[in-house]
Amino acid sequence: MERINARTTNSARGIVLVLCAGILWGTTGTAQSFSPAGLSPYWVGALRLSIAAAFFAAYAAMGPGRITASLAGIDWRRAILAGACMAGYNLAFFAGVKATGVAIGTALALGSGPIWAGLLQIPGGGAPSRGWWAGTLLAVGGGILLVLGRGGALQADPAGVALCLAAGFAYALYAILNKHMVHRAEPAIVTLAVFSVAAAIALPAAGVWAGPLDITGRGWAIVAFLGIAATGVAYLLFSSGLRGITAASGVSLALMEPVTAFLLAIVVVGEHPGLAAYAGLAALLGGLALVIRSEVAVDQADSRRLRRRSCSCR
């Protein structure tokens, strides 16, 4: 019975942690709107990964045991691939947004992620339920409507579209790899390993694509916030949440990000979105509710199976 209750608690905790991570991710766009105009988005992506890696190192150092010993127990094949996915997500997303515009780029990258995650879980026998698909597709559709309803230049650049879809795929694959690793090691150690690899890839890539780093004091302040809060704390919450829910549900619930970005754009930036954006917001929230309901239903079904199994053993 304790094991069954623990499953239910972990599921609820996982849902809350991932939603909180999505809220923190949603602050990224608003924070970047205050960054200096000359600061390259490639450097923003690379620096936030590096600062996040430093944050994870500091956080892990406060825990019991030595970091080096903990890192030795990591599945480094998965960690390197997950780090490459995280670096690829950042670089492909910024390049895709530059080619297609913020509206289409964000809609494609965020919207395709949950769909990729659902498809990637099918070969392993963990195909999401019909309820999950219904909620995810509704949330994705609402997210796209919300983002496009906020206005902005629309550019259907084929290369940019491909880059944004690739960013969504990289993020989904990262989440699935991360799900495997956090069940075998502490989330802080896993994120430290993954983001160290990602930073090692992204920093030289930013130097090649954007040239030498030119950043002001205000730029450093923005990047520090992005690295510590919107990346470090957010991904620590996300990784911890994946211990209690499926990777596909984690990626879908992360769509809380555009909800937060939408609200901040109204309150902080002073945007005045149209009715389409509000309709998208309603659809997105409704879709997230269906995903949560599906995740809870699966968890309850697993709990019933465990209960029947424990009774039969007696």
Q: Where are the domains of the chain?
A: 2-313
| Confidence (pLDDT) at 105 | 83
**Contact assessment for residue 14 and residue 252, using Cβ atoms and an 8 Å cutoff:** no
| Confidence (pLDDT) at 152 | 60
Residues 6+ apart with CB under 8 A from 206: 40, 42, 43, 45, 46, 47, 91, 213
Residues 15, 296, 175, 7: what is their CA dihedral angle, to the nearest 10 degrees? 80
Choice between 154 and 201, residue whose per-residue pLDDT is larger: 201
| Confidence (pLDDT) at 309 | 58
Choice between 103 and 291, residue whose per-residue pLDDT is larger: 291
d(CA 134, CA 292): 12
- The pair of structure tokens assigned to 170 is 């990289």
| Confidence (pLDDT) at 176 | 95
Tens-digit pLDDT profile for residues 254-306: 999 999 988 998 888 788 888 999 999 999 999 999 999 998 887 666 555 55
| Confidence (pLDDT) at 3 | 42
**Which residue type, as a one-letter code, is found at position 160?**
G
**Which residue type, as a one-letter code, is found at position 1?**
M
Average pLDDT, the chain: 88
SS3 11: helix
**Which residue type, as a one-letter code, is found at position 48?**
R
